[in-house]
A and B are shown apart, each in its own frame.
Chain A
Amino acid sequence: MVRKEVIAFAATLVLGLPLGASAVTIDDFSTQQSAVINFGAPTPQTVTSNQAAPEAIGGSREITLTRHAPSFGTASVDSSLSDAGLLSLSMGAAVHADALLVYDGSADGTLDAGGLGSVNLIQGGEDTLRVIVRSDLDATIRIQFHSGSVDDYLYIEVPVSGQGTGDGALQVLEFALTNGDLLTQGAGADLTAVGAIQVLLFSDNASVDLQIDSISTVKGTPEPVAMSLLGLGLGGLVVAGRRRLA
């Protein structure tokens, strides 16, 4: 009887827990980097920061921060400075801004759509894009995958719900890479041969403060399946327990 319980428990672990274990990290923001636009004339302003970031795909991260007119307060984006291990995009009061992150294997400030070579983002069977994020107001994260062409790409727009607080819990947002969550621009791209990735953070709201813990592709996490497998395993444990008591 004990053996059956062990088997059921093992099945739970095998079927339920490994989901998401295999991952390709696009960025987990452990290298310090920042771009800041201080208060000033309410005309459009742009700053860039391009540098090596060993933890990021391709080994570098290019950041472009844009503050839109007529904003005049501070806008900043940083990695691991405001909060260790997080990318923080902060806009001052009534400030509209957006940030673009580029991963193309170089830190030269231009998009090389084939700069990553030919990275296979789904080599281990990963079929889910995972973004761990929080934001005080509604915002959007647009992620583009290029395979050699600047004008052709696959993309997904990740809606981030504002939590009404600046230090809320990080949310795990997941999207299927294979069943239509990805949209196509032009000829699209090949996720088994990705040459560049662009991540755009933007919002219709002013004063957005958003933080990203990581962006990665992970293996199979359609939540209902995961939960049903976990449920099956736990159900097995219950049945085994009842049989033992009987």
Chain B
Amino acid sequence: MMRHEVFRRLAIGAGAVAWTLAGPAGAVVVIDGFDTQQVLQIPAGGSGAASASGVIAAPQAIGGERDAIASRDMGSGFVDLLVNPSGTDSSLSFALGASPGAATIVWDGPDGNAETLDSDGLGGIDLTQGGVNTGLQVRARSDLATELVFTITGASGGVSDATLDLPAGTAYRQLFLPFSAFGTPELFANAGSLSLQIAGEPGLDVQIALVAAPEPSGAGVALAVLAALAFCHRRRTSLPLG
């Protein structure tokens, strides 16, 4: 066995171990992986403001339920708020036709009500995992630059919000919104609800694949391992055959 092949296998083995240690076994809290199908639509046509809302049991989402509201501010363009509609694409798609509109996603526990916020519905869950997690991680892309506005309520009261800028682009981006960006970051240690709002201009098309509160150190180790594997791969492919 060639020396670089031994090195590569060792690196892969070490990577797998490190990934296991740093990944799901860490303190990552998945807010929503958008696996559970949910469909809200305001069809093109009609005229003026319109809205649609829905509630669905989502075992993989925090609190076990996802509330969603889609709205059109004016005009007659369609509004799509689709979560994994094909069953094979775990993501949320929010799309506006030729009219402005908004989407609101709420995780506030199993209240069965999309229209009313249950501000302590999550029962005081600690999204910081004892202070280990320091922010929200979002994997998303959008055809137009837009903003993702997160709002947290505390189970014992209090509300705070912060905005995450999502630049335009076709590739998914890993974005991080530190808890410290919120006016009252301590609410994340005793969360009652979390919501996400996207307000958009005509033509906005957004996809979100993950919202989570990751363990920063774990993510760092995982990235370092990935970088090491990439380096090994480059060495291997640059070496002469034989």
State the A residues within 8 Å of B (CB): 34, 36, 38-39, 41-42, 70, 72-74, 76, 78, 81-83, 86, 88, 90-95, 136-137, 164-167, 205-209, 211
Determine whether B203 belongs to the interface, using a CB cutoff of 8 Å to chain A.
Answer: yes
B118 to chain A, nearest CB (A): 29
Whether B143 lies near A82 (C-beta < 8 A) is no
On whether the beta carbons of B93 and A73 are closer than 8 Å, the reply is yes
Say yes or no: A39 contacts B203, CB within 8 Å: no
Complex Cα–Cα for A42 and B41 (A): 17
Q: Which residue of B lies closest to A88 (CB)?
A: B98
Cα–Cα distance between A77 and B105 once the two chains are bound (Å): 28
The interface bits of chain B over 168-189 (1 if a CB of A lies within 8 angstroms of the residue's CB, else 0) are 1010000000000000000000
B82 part of interface (Cβ distance < 8 Å): yes
Set B39, B43, B77, B144: member contacting A88, Cβ < 8 A: B77
9 contacts between A and B (CB under 8 A): A36-B44, A73-B80, A88-B97, A90-B44, A164-B145, A167-B203, A205-B143, A207-B205, A211-B98
Which of B76, B85, B204 makes the CB contact (< 8 A) with A166?
B204
* Main DSSP-derived SS at the A contact region: loop
Q: A82-B97, A82-B98 are in contact. Are A38 and B77 (CB under 8 A)?
A: no
**Shortest CB–CB separation between residue B4 and chain A, in angstroms?**
39
Report how many residues on chain B are interfacial, defined by Cβ distance under 8 Å: 35
Query: Does A166 lie within 8 Å of B144, measured CB to CB?
Result: yes
Complex contact A72–B86 (CB within 8 A): yes
Say if the beta carbon of B126 comes within 8 Å of chain A. no
Which chain A positions have C-beta within 8 A of B89? 72
Q: Chain B residues near A211: list those with CB within 8 A.
A: 98
Q: Contacts A90-B77, A94-B207, A207-B143; is A73 near B95 (CB within 8 Å)? A: yes
CB distance from A148 to the nearest CB of B (A): 36
- How many angstroms between the C-alpha atoms of A140 and B94 in the bound complex? 24
Cβ A93 vs Cβ B202 within 8 A: no
Confirm or deny: B107 has a beta carbon within 8 angstroms of a beta carbon on chain A: no
Contact A209:B41 (CB < 8 A) given known A90-B78, A93-B206, A136-B203: no
A82/B99 in contact, CB under 8 A: yes
Name A86's closest neighbour in chain B (CB-CB).
B98
In angstroms, Cα B44 to Cα A94, docked, is 18
- Most chain A CB within 10 A, of B89, B93, B97, B168, is at B97
Q: Chain A residues with Cβ under 8 A from B98's Cβ?
A: 82-83, 86, 88, 90, 166, 209, 211
Question: B93–A205 contact, CB under 8 A?
Answer: no
